[in-house]
Amino acid sequence: MKRIALLGATGSIGRQALEIIGAHPELELVAAASGSQPIDGVAPLTQVGGDLTDLLERARPDVVLNAVVGFAGLPATLWALERGIDLALANKESLVAAGELATSAWQRGGGRLLPVDSEHSAAYQCLESREPGTVHSLVLTASGGPFRGRSREELADVTPAEALAHPTWNMGPKITIDSATLANKGLELIEAHFLFGLEYERLEVVVHPTSTVHALVRFHDGAALAHLGYPDMRVPISFALTYPERTATPVPPLDLSVGLTLEFEAPDLETFPLLTLARQAGKQAGTYPCAFNAANEVAVAAFLEGRLPFLGIAETVEETLASVDGAPARELSELFEADAEARRLAERTAATA
């Protein structure tokens, strides 16, 4: 029996996780949390908002599935990593923002960090815990989002409803907007750097519109291993929750008899500058990734509320990154300060855009 705590139970990942847990008698849901929606009766212990580590202390789970959206997921990520409790991580923002603090906690705790992001789950399976030195490079695939092929001029007036219409994945609003701007792939680059210990020069992004190949790892011996499957988050959720087993899901195996065309193209970095901004923030290190994430969260919220045009999201992040000092956070309080400062700057920029 594995005791699972599910944080973000009312969201897109959370609902799919409930389906996976419900189908596996060996998975026991001991606790569930949401941000504001009621979740009474979903699990023996529940919590709506507040400090989620209180719930985790009471629940004492074997696995924490962190499917909270945004920086709000950080305390739970650090709680699990520090204690060596297996962490199934969908909440990429916490690893991006906390960076070195999170990886130090992971090393001290010694537990498993199982990515739920489909690309990172795929890469994890291709890498099979091999040393970073054996790896030539890791390729993360991007669908390109709903605006693939459009020019900057064509994006000036796009609405939240248009940006929320993702071609291949059905996800929560924040990550869907991040997919439309390619900020999501930027966050994933930084996430991959911390998860797999690979330098940014060895992390590549390609656009692959059908989202069939989720990641590809090139090795120094000339071989490349890719992970293929239908775009369905129940697969990586199930992989993380049932690891090291591979148990059945309702998702069918890939059918090649219908003919499968795999197309790849370079991302359009000029139209979607957030990918380059994320790479730069990752390389600059310190609290630059935290500031990237904070400014992006503020800008996405402003866009969804109709206060900022689509192109203003990248402009807000760029101006914020140019204004912060990016100094490394030696402790959590300094990270929270860096996050708060970036949010203040981003709010100011977004208000004048």
Ligand X SMILES: NC(=O)c1ccc[n+]([C@@H]2O[C@H](COP(=O)([O-])OP(=O)(O)OC[C@H]3O[C@@H](n4cnc5c(N)ncnc54)[C@H](OP(=O)(O)O)[C@@H]3O)[C@@H](O)[C@H]2O)c1
* Residues contributing to the site for ligand X (CB under 6 A): 8-14, 33-37, 49, 52, 67-69, 72, 90-93, 117, 169, 171-175, 233
Distance CA 203, CA 133 (A): 14
Residue nearest to ligand X (CB): 11
Closer CB to ligand X, 17 or 85, in the complex: 17
Strand partners, 207: 142, 265
Task: State the minimum distance, in angstroms, from the CB of residue 231 to ligand X.
Answer: 9
Closer CB to ligand X, 12 or 242, in the complex: 12
Task: State the minimum distance, in angstroms, from the CB of residue 259 to ligand X.
Answer: 27
Closer CB to ligand X, 13 or 338, in the complex: 13
Task: State the minimum distance, in angstroms, from the CB of residue 32 to ligand X.
Answer: 9
For 211, phi then psi, to 5°, come to: 55, 40
36 in helix, strand or coil?
Answer: coil
Closer CB to ligand X, 75 or 111, in the complex: 75
Residue 126, amino acid? C
Closer CB to ligand X, 93 or 268, in the complex: 93
**Which residue do the tokens 């690309």 mark?**
119
Task: State the minimum distance, in angstroms, from the CB of residue 164 to ligand X.
Answer: 12
Distance CA 305, CA 173 (A): 12
Task: State the minimum distance, in angstroms, from the CB of residue 168 to ligand X.
Answer: 10
Closer CB to ligand X, 188 or 318, in the complex: 188
Neighbour count for residue 82 (Cβ, 10 Å): 15
Neighbour count for residue 230 (Cβ, 10 Å): 15
Task: State the minimum distance, in angstroms, from the CB of residue 147 to ligand X.
Answer: 18
Distance CA 109, CA 81 (A): 6
> Is 63:4 a contact under the CB 8 Å cutoff?
yes
